């Protein structure tokens, strides 16, 4: 009985992580017009290098991603070319720098997140 519950828990947790990562991937396809008057946040511990790490951090810090916006007035070839907008549980919104290239690479690396159910 304990072994069955442990296997169920692992499968359940894997499904939850996959669902959250899919939400992250889809939210980062939502382009916003601008930063919406949000402030640039220097704390970026909630940022992840892949959708799974992103999902884990968002869950840990009780944040949601609203989308991204293109940063203006950048030199060509700038790596951190977008701002990702997040909202905390109190409704405060903020953004941090990120690279659109990394998000594009996710589609090749994590195709399961972009499949329709």
pTM of the model: 0.78
Which pLDDT band holds residue 117 (cuts at 50, 70, 90)? low
For the segment 13-28, what is each residue's pLDDT rounded down to a tens digit? Answer: 445 567 888 888 888 8
For the segment 73-100, what is each residue's pLDDT rounded down to a tens digit? Answer: 767 777 889 999 999 999 999 999 999 9
Q: What integer best gives the mean pLDDT of the chain?
A: 81
Q: What is the pLDDT of residue 6?
A: 38
Three state DSSP letters for 7-38: HHHHHHHHHHHHHHHHHHHHHCCCECCCCCCC
């Amino acid at each position: 009985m304990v072994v069955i519950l442990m296997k169920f828990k692992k499968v359940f947790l894997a499904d939850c992580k996959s669902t959250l990562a899919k939400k992250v991937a889809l939210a980062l396809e939502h382009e916003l017009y601008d930063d919406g008057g949000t402030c640039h946040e220097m704390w970026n511990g909630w940022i992840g290098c892949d959708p799974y790490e992103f999902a884990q951090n968002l869950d840990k810090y009780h944040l949601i991603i609203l989308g991204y916006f293109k940063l203006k007035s950048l030199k060509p070839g700038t790596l951190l070319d977008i701002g990702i907008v997040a909202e905390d549980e109190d409704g405060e919104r903020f953004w941090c720098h990120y690279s659109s290239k990394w998000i594009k690479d996710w589609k090749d690396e994590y195709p399961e997140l972009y499949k329709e159910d």
